[in-house]
Structure 1
Amino acid sequence: MNITVENPYALLLLLTVPILAIMMTSWRKGRIILSEKIVNKTIFDKISVRKSDRFGLRRAITLFAITFIIFAISNPQLPGAKQLVNKESSDIFIAFDISRSMLSQDIAPDRITKAKLFAVKLVESMRSERIGLIVFAGAAYVYMPLTNDYNAAIDFINGLSTEMASYQGTAIGDAIEVAEKAFTQEANRSKGLIIISDGEDHDSDAEKAAEKASQGGMVITTLGVGTERGGMIPDNSTGGANYKLDDQGNPIRSKLDASALKKIATKAQGSYYNIGDNTESLKGVLDMVSKLDKGEYQSIDTSNNFSLYPFFLWPAAILLMIELLMGMGLLITKKQTHEV
């Protein structure tokens, strides 16, 4: 039986149940000590209207009720019948630069981390589109095909690293060509490509590739990562805080090539933004996506899962009602005892 939990973090509240048990027991002991200081136990038993408060039982009932409520909040679910449904969306590929220059720290904490954070925000803002991921350095390849599984897309983005690149370079042209081949070939649907890169040392064929892709209906938006002043490229291969050196032994300064990225975007009816301005960049990308033609595709809908929370909520309500009646003395007749 494949049970999923809609709100798994709610189960952390179960850690409070034993704490509540200790607090209730401590409160009970304090009440007993206080009552014995005020009046003799024998006299208290004679004048007490309620001959027994069954504290141990009431405590157990309360804790069980709280436990059931926590399970209800977490909402365990059984898988419902899977249905094939038709949906409309644009197809968007995010091409991500994983070359070593993305380790430069001219923006905090470094270019690749900043780019990953922005890409996650981008995916979260495009939850009605199909999204795919392409990674490139000296070569490009599809890292994740088009999908509407946004949680998987975020996981893939978080896993990006410059260590994934077999060859160094910035093959933006290759990334554009890979995207062209990966898009579904439908005449009634335009395609969007978002390139996240520092643009440095890009291949000379990138502009030609962008122009060719544009003729096939692709719109390209480029997002620059870094600053034109640039920064050193960390190199930890020899240990210590070293930097990548040129042939003369001088530290290499990597700079954002905004001009190159602007030319690529212009060739494919797109725009250029620097992710240093998160708000403007996000707005620009979403504006591009909103203008793309929507296409229809089939998807398996599993949103009709069967929620099990009523099976926890009703027992909790019944237990709380029983505890309330016991607190009023309606279900208690036994002789008073100082049970803990």
Structure 2
Amino acid sequence: MSWYLRTLGFGVVAAAISLGLIAARLGDGVRHVIFGQPLWLLLLPIPLAAMGLRAWLAPRPATMHFTRKRSLDRIGGGFATYLADLPDGLRLGAVLVLIVACARPQSTRLSERIEHEGIDIAIALDLSESMKNDDLRPDRLTAAKLVIDDFVARRHDDRVALVVFGTNASTIAPLTMDHGVLRNLIAQLRLGVIDGTQTAIGAGLGVALNRLEDSPAASKIIVLLTDGVHNADGVDPDSVAQKAAERGVIIYTVLMGRQASGAASIDPGQLERLASATGGYAYLAEDVGELQTSFQDLLNKLERSEIEGEQIRAELFGWLLWPVLLLLMLDIGLRTTRLRRFP
């Protein structure tokens, strides 16, 4: 039985090393391996069972493997004596790998061309005077700029536009992939660049929607950040949200800052209506932590979709024949030289 265990160990290790080397050679581009004829794998236990039956029914005779003293001295004692069963293990490993090869393993990988479907995003930022409030440290506008900057930095494959609004609305940057320039523009935003005495949410949404009008992207998003309620003349925010829904544009709203109970300067319900009308979501951020969490959740919701290239399959049968051949050659070489047996 000791012969069986040693041979089994050598065989399994030889097969595992062979298959491992093939897997390493294939590289990281392989997504997974499938078998064209998986029923062949049912034969794997047969050589193992045959060896066990042989060891049980016909134990190996206690013959001396080496009839000459110098041969025995050359092999030496200790661990080296266990190598006498290595050729049997190599042969077993070759049989196991050959069975795996007959199961027709196939690697699947993608073609070199992988296309990504980017998202076009228009950010509408409130620049009304209340954005100087310091309940979000150091103030609401600075906190908003920091999370917007981080958001833009993480949207590598998306075009982003920036719109600001107070009493009226203005485009700071049209849709662009030049995120470096856009982040510089975000850093330079200050209160006072537009009239901030009122909050024209409708105008901000309208200009942001116009920035997406000619977008060919399958996914179009508006992210609205404000700390107040629409209180300016002009475009009604709900009508803009309806137009956005008709065009397939999704609106996400973020209401920033701590609001006093019953305060007339806010209307959370309106922001919820704007978002829900388009299938978006309304966030409430009363501190910097909640603001960051809101944008992190938004990032998760906007994970880019991926259009994969053509899947390519490659037959691995030929690859596995090489280790089979190598194991058999080592088996023959050891049997006829250093580990030769003399019956």
Larger helix share, 1 or 2: 2
TM-score by length of 1: 0.50
Q: Greater CA radius of gyration, 1 or 2?
A: 2
TM-score by length of 2: 0.49
